[in-house]
Structure 1
Amino acid sequence: MDETKNQGFAYRLGYRLGRLQGACRRIETTLVGWFKKKGIPPMATRSVRWIVKLAVAGLLLYLAFWIALFVLGALAIANAAAIAPDQEIPTGDSDGWRHGHSGFGDYIDDYRVDPGRFDND
């Protein structure tokens, strides 16, 4: 009894989705019976069922696309906010292109290593 009391989110979500699917099946069965009673051919009934199913699937995919786009946009904004403009960019202390004793150039351990000309003018 303790197991059913402490079910997690996934269990509850799956249970609700299963109930929703059962309700949709019951509605579909009722509509198929109504179509039969009205004399609509079985081929037309199957076509309508598939059209409705495909429309629902398309709407769900459309919704999933916009949710994913929103989440990616929120992540991009959060990433941009994480790179604060008040953070200093390290310059001068690291190797690479910078201003040094011999002017601007490529430096490794305070020695200029690029083939450029030195500013001795």
Structure 2
Amino acid sequence: MNSASHNSIAERFGRWLGRGWRGYVHRERKVLQWLASKGLPWIAAFALLWAIKLVALGVLAYFSFWLALLMVFAVVARWPVGQSTSEDDFELGLPATLDGLREMPGYDPNLHNDTSHEMYRDDD
């Protein structure tokens, strides 16, 4: 029997996120130290990093707002298209009889194989 435990996908994903977060915090501390070494007070460096975070959050919120608005407009525009009509309401717009078809402007008896029409020509 195998005594080694296997990590689930969720556990591996959580560990991956934790490593990423620790890496981010480590790099943030390095930036704070670098800014302090350049003569910027600690509180100013800390405030600068928070300002950068807030600006990034604002840009993300702005982008998310316009994306959500675009999706709402797409759904609203798609709504009438999705409304189905019964097949009884469907009309082709063409006359149902041959006489009605002959009265339409631009009628050509050769295109409809209307041999009883006086303008029909047989191209044999």
Using the size of structure 1 for normalisation, the TM-score is: 0.52
**AA partner of residue 29 (structure 1):** R
1:1-121 aligned within 5 A: 4-5=8-9, 7=10, 12=13, 20-83=20-83, 88=89
- Structure 2 unmatched ranges of 5 or more: 90-124
Q: What is the RMSD of the two structures over their aligned residues, measured on CA atoms?
A: 3.0
TM-score (norm 2): 0.51
Q: How far, CA to CA, are the matches of 1:28 and 1:3 in structure 2?
A: 30
The alpha carbon displacement at 1:70 in A equals 2.0
The change in CA–CA distance for 1:49 and 1:58 in structure 2 (over 3 A counts) is same
Give deviations 1:53-86, integer Å, cap 9, x for gaps.
1101101101210221122122112212113578
Flag the structure with more relative contact order, 1 or 2, with Cα contacts below 8 A and sequence separation at least 6.
1
The one-letter amino acid of 2:24's match is C
How many aligned residue pairs are there? 84
What CA distance in whole angstroms lies between the structure 1 residues aligned with 2:21 and 2:27?
A: 10
CA distance in 2, matches of 1:16, 1:70: 33
Q: 1:16 to 1:2 in 2, by over 3 A?
A: closer
CA distance in 2, matches of 1:15, 1:70: 36
- Residues 22 and 59 (structure 1 numbering): CA distance in 2 closer, same or farther, change over 3 Å? farther
- Match for 2:59: what amino acid? L
Q: Which runs of 5+ in 1 are unaligned?
A: 89-121
